[in-house]
A and B are shown apart, each in its own frame.
Chain A
Amino acid sequence: MTRIVTVETRDLEKSAKEGGCGECQTSCQSACKTSCGVANQPCEQLSK
């Protein structure tokens, strides 16, 4: 592909099969306390 570079990202469809363990940190506990999202939450399983 000369015009497109695809960046490596987590496959969300695959994560529907392998994810959902719930061990990740609750988003708002970490830093914002007023307007959190989840995008910056690491996966507890994958980021070990």
Chain B
Amino acid sequence: MIHCYQFDGLNIVLDCYSGSIHMVDKVAYDMIQWYETEPAEEVIEKAIAKHGITRDDAQECIADIDDLKTAGKLYAPDKYEHLAKDFRKKNIKIKALCLHVAHTCNLNCSYCFASQGKYHGERAIMSYEVGKRAIDFLIENSGFHKNLDIDFFGGEPLMNWDVCKQLVAYGREQEKIHNKNIRFTLTTNGVLLDDEVTEFANKEMHNVVLSLDGRKEVNDRFRVDYAGNGSYDRIVPNFQKFVAKRGNLSYYMRGTFTHYNIDFVNDIKQMLDLGFNELSMEPVVTDPSSPSAITKEDLPVVFEQYEELARLMVERYNEGRPFTFYHYMLDLTCGPCIYKRIAGCGSGTEYLAVTPWGDLYPCHQFVGDEAYKMGSIYDGVQNLELRDKFASCNAYSRPECKDCWAKLYCSGGCAANSYHASGDINGIYEMGCDIFRKRIECAIAVKLLTSGLEQPGQKEE
């Protein structure tokens, strides 16, 4: 399967199953598409008629395409479906936990998928004892994995910061005993992000996710405290101080865009103006009937925004002022292997969320939905049927993905998004698919436009 598209004068051909990417001129762009289903002679005749090239020229192009086909870089067949057949059921080990250390929040954002941190339940704080048992549970069930990930999440984890620090100390002690490497992540709204937190996080947190929606009026539309006051003026200085001290360590400034700010590139520009360079901007996850939900009618604008963002990245790269956008980060040579590409994020199998009282859920987005409770850190994963369902949920499990060129980039998509959109983790969230495909097209275009490679025929065009 191939996917061909154009971006600002680039002609791009993606070969789905080999993972190959080709930049081609207009002639090859047509011929590669025709040759997928038509015989060589017909393709040659069509190329001569349309592009006015010589027969020798057209034949040479066909020969080049044939060489790529022989090398497995064009029209590569799907050789992976058998890998998807239960390969993850064989030996499921847990390697990541999302610790819900605080089911409470000091902000009251109405669009919050976690219902202001409470996950549709009561406010709660994780005790040190529960957190400690969660770390033991992770290590006990991690098997051969050396690298383990623990995210302090909420609600707002800084409302339970002392426990977070104690758990880091406990994790550091245990990783030595068990020969593991624990990578801690903190996700915070910034209200309580002070010098002490900054110093500790810069020493111990592998990654820190900071929540800011961009422009003041955009941020303060939803990200307000319980008195209704916007958070922007309080959190931005905290974030700026934090990032100034972060050095080369990883962080993300993460925003959410909604129907009200589908011109979200302006929010990304605001983040850049504030001095943040590691950015992520996510479409809101909410009930489709909510006025903040992205609508189908919004999609053309959303797509334009992703294109504008790609151009902005190239422009800033050329000016020596690059920035990172999470969804445009692609490592073409050292990216994920085919197993990861098929399996996806690992929710419900190698990645679980832990509630303040120790219950296990497939991921943070399922917390609060009793039907998705998998077990507890005390009794382990009890709902094996549910675990098997998540283990079987991958790039090959949805009929809708069969002919999608992007399935080995998205692994079939987010199970939680699918569930909320269709009622089944093996369904699809169609709008999410549309957005994902657009992002991958733009991400690859950015890589090509900053690669230093020149597209054939570009000079004449």
Contacts and interface: CB of A to CB of B under 8 A. Distances in A.
Contacts of B3: none
Nearest to B439: A37
Interface stretch (B115-123, B143-151, B171-179): B143-151
Contacts of B151: 29
Interface in A1-48: 1-13, 15-16, 18-20, 22-44, 46-47
B276 interface: no
B113 interface: yes
Given A7-B21, A30-B207, A38 B72 contact: no
A17 to B, nearest CB: 9
Interface stretch (B194-202, B230-238, B450-458): B450-458
Interface of B is mostly: mixed
Contacts of A36: 345, 414
Interface of A is mostly: loop
Given A8-B333, A12-B17, A19-B340, A37 B60 contact: no
A5 B454 contact: yes
Interface in B81-95: 83, 93, 95
B185 interface: yes
Contact of B149 (A3, A10, A25, A40): A25
- Residue picked from A8, A31, A35, most chain B C-beta under 10 Å: A31
Given A22-B145, A35-B282, A39-B330, A13 B79 contact: yes
A1 to B, nearest CB: 4
Nearest to A24: B340
Contacts of B347: 28
B410 A9 contact: no
Contacts of A8: 332-333
Interface in B412-461: 413-414, 416-417, 432, 435-436, 440, 443, 447-448, 451, 453-457
A9 B20 contact: yes
A30 to B, nearest CB: 6
B345 A27 contact: yes
B409 interface: yes
Contact of A16 (B73, B80, B351): B80
B316 interface: no
B83 A7 contact: no
B145 A37 contact: no
Interface of A: 1-13, 15-16, 18-20, 22-44, 46-47
Closest 5 CB pairs of A and B: A19-B337, A26-B96, A46-B334, A15-B337, A3-B28
10 contacts: A12-B338, A13-B72, A25-B183, A31-B252, A33-B187, A34-B113, A35-B282, A38-B341, A38-B409, A40-B329
